[in-house]
Structure formats: C-alpha cells, structure tokens
Amino acid sequence: MQKIQPLDIILHKRSRSLEIQFNNGDHYDLPWEYLRVYSPSSEVRGRRGSDSILVTGKQNVCISDIKPVGNYAVKLFFDDGHHSGLYDWKYLHELGSNYTQYWQNYCLRVDQEVKNNSGKR
C-alpha cells in the first residue's frame, strides 16, 4: 500500500477552500471553515472524538498563509490568529474522505449547543 501524499495543494481565495489532489487519485476541495473547526491542534482537538472542543463563529475565517512542514504536513495560518495545528497528509486525507459525515456531525453539535444555551440568560 502506497503512502498517501498530495500531488498538488491549491489555496482558492475566491471560493475560500483548499484543493488537494492525492497520489491515490482522491481529490478534495475543503472549505476554510471546516479546516479551522477541525484543526488538529491540541487547543481544539485535545482528544479526538466527542471530547473535542466545539469551535464556532468561524464562517468568515480566512487562510492567510500556508507553509510546508518537511515532507509530511502543512501549517495553515488563519486570520483569527490560529496557526498551531499541523495538518499532516493522513489527516488531510481523513478530513477529505469523511467531509460529509464530519461536517454533518459538526452542524448537529452546533445546533445542540444553540438549543442548550437558548434558555440560559
């Protein structure tokens, strides 16, 4: 089995997405908001799964820069000051291949948070 690696990574400012073409033929166009709320940083992920921190209010976040980290990852710099997570190739591929499920789970968590807080004033 070959190691997953990107062949091309393109930052699209107009559509606010990161396009990634992998060496296995997979191709993903990941929205910046999605990448921000699923940052691999310990600040956000802590522990993956239901214990991860719910990050909200990032609909208009921008990626201001992207830097390679060796031959295994990129570091994304967001305009809200967040830049502590390294997006390795395996994690970017996971985010792409699970986009529908992960985004749906995120939206459900946000909806639940809104419902839980709507009665608190």
The edge-to-edge listing of strands for the beta sheet with 6-12 is 6-12, 17-22, 27-31
In which band, very low, low, confident or very high, does the pLDDT at 119 lie, cut at 50, 70 and 90?
low
Q: What is the pLDDT of residue 11?
A: 95
pLDDT tens-place string over residues 39-95 = 998 777 665 555 678 999 999 999 999 999 999 999 999 999 998 889 999 999 999
Q: What is the pLDDT of residue 42?
A: 75
Q: What is the pLDDT of residue 117?
A: 82
Q: What is the pLDDT of residue 81?
A: 92
Q: Which residue has the tokens 């699209």?
A: 12
Q: How far apart are CA 89 and CA 101, in angstroms?
A: 19
Structure tokens at 27: 């191709």
pTM: 0.89
* Domains detected in the chain: 6-118 (3.30.2020.30)
Is the Cβ–Cβ distance between 6 and 20 less than 8 Å? yes
pLDDT tens-place string over residues 85-108 = 899 999 999 999 999 999 999 999
Show the beta-strand stretches assigned E in 25-116: 27-31, 63-69, 73-78, 86-88
Q: How far apart are CA 105 and CA 112, in angstroms?
A: 11
